[in-house]
């Protein structure tokens, strides 16, 4: 998970990608859990609405987090790269217990923040314990190799996914969101085959992965989290077929986890309990389901 080592004696904060469309009113289990993690009634949460094209997105989440009991909510409207150098905004990041990145366009978010003092501050504060959550586009942008777009479908195909540099808060896996609802299995498989550095995480809507400093992932929410383990990928024809042709994969392991399941990203194993979810072998591949 780590983009770099935590400073000696410091515990890295949680990374919390959310699949989008999280329940904010009736049963906001994900956002309530985030507020509690950040300190509950003492929490100071900074909202980054940069990915969104709507002017009221920051205000919406400010209201939600206040209703959930957060002591203070600050909006960081990074609209230009110069904003990402603002001492006023950087001081907010210095004081925040958690940062929340909204949905919208992950390319806009990554291009605005990458290689700026604000991005450096996100990295350093997370390394010292500040928690970082992001929903939809805010989740995808956490990766070093970010899914910027692609096509729907279950079968991986050449050229099915567009990759771009993300914020690099996490480096060993790539994230996709609105996963089951928008039929994105094929593009995440294609992404894992293309980058070959480890793991793909597909998040259904109203579902989050709470990833701790010990690389333990806990699923929270009403949907599923699909883990694609490409650490033993032995064969892929992704580089040798024509655009849009199906791609064969071997050595892929695929897991589907639900609320309460815990999975260790370092050992690629379910930790404790039993799975109530199904294991799935994607068509068009020789993948084997581990659990």
Nearest to 254, CA basis, from 216, 291, 207? 291
Average pLDDT of the segment spanning 218-222: 98
Q: Cα–Cα–Cα angle for 20, 21, 25, nearest 5°?
A: 135
Mean of the per-residue pLDDT values of the chain: 90
pTM, 2 dp:
0.91
Task: Find where tokens 């333990």 sit.
Answer: 216
State the DSSP H helix or E strand holding residue 162, giving kind and residue range, or none if neither: strand 161-165
Residue 92 confidence (pLDDT): 98
Q: Which of the residues 22, 178, 194, 236 is marked catalytic?
A: 178
Q: What is the pLDDT of residues 56-96, one digit of tens each?
A: 999 999 999 999 999 999 999 999 999 999 999 999 999 99
C-alpha to C-alpha distance for 132 and 123, rounded to whole angstroms: 10
Would residue 136 show up in a list of annotated catalytic residues for this protein?
A: yes
Would residue 178 show up in a list of annotated catalytic residues for this protein?
A: yes
Q: Which of the residues 22, 62, 205, 218 is marked catalytic?
A: 205
Q: What is the pLDDT of residues 112-124, one digit of tens each?
A: 999 999 999 999 9
State the DSSP H helix or E strand holding residue 200, giving kind and residue range, or none if neither: strand 199-203
Do the Cβ atoms of 117 and 83 come closer than 8 Å? no
Do the Cβ atoms of 30 and 18 come closer than 8 Å? yes
Task: Find where tokens 């050229």 sit.
Answer: 159
Structure tokens at 9: 């004696």
Q: Which of the residues 136, 140, 194, 285 is marked catalytic?
A: 136
Domains of the chain, first to last: 15-288 (3.40.50.880)
Question: In angstroms, what CA-CA distances link 185 with 7, 154, 247, 282?
Answer: 36, 5, 13, 8
Alpha helices in 128-273 (DSSP H): 137-140, 185-195
pLDDT bin (cut points 50, 70, 90) of residue 194 is confident
Do the Cβ atoms of 35 and 133 come closer than 8 Å? no
Q: Report whether pLDDT(1) > 60.
A: no
């Amino acid at each position: 998970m780590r983009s770099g080592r935590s400073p000696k004696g410091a515990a890295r904060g949680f990374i919390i990608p959310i699949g989008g469309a999280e329940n904010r009113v009736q049963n906001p289990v994900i956002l309530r859990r985030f507020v509690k993690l950040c300190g509950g009634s003492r929490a100071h949460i900074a909202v980054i609405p940069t990915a969104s094209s709507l002017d009221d997105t920051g205000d919406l989440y400010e209201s939600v987090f206040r209703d959930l009991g957060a002591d203070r909510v600050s909006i960081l409207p990074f609209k230009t790269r110069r904003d990402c150098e603002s001492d006023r905004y950087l001081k907010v990041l210095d004081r925040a217990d958690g940062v929340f990145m909204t949905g919208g366009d992950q390319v806009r978010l990554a291009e605005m923040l990458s290689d700026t003092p604000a991005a450096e501050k996100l990295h350093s504060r997370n390394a010292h314990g500040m928690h970082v959550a992001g929903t939809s586009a805010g989740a995808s942008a956490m990766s070093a190799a970010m899914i910027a777009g692609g096509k729907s479908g279950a079968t991986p195909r050449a050229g099915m996914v567009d990759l771009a540099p993300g914020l690099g808060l996490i480096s060993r896996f790539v994230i996709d969101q609105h996963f089951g609802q928008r039929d994105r299995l094929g593009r995440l498989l294609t992404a894992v085959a293309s980058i070959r550095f480890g793991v793909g995480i597909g998040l259904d809507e109203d579902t989050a992965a709470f990833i701790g400093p010990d690389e333990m992932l806990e699923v929270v929410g009403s949907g599923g989290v699909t883990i694609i383990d490409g650490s033993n990928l032995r064969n892929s024809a992704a580089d040798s077929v024509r655009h849009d042709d199906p791609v064969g994969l071997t050595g892929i392991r695929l897991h589907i986890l639900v609320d309460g399941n815990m999975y260790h990203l370092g050992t690629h194993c379910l930790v404790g309990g039993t799975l109530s979810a199904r294991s799935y072998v994607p068509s068009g591949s020789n993948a084997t389901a581990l659990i």
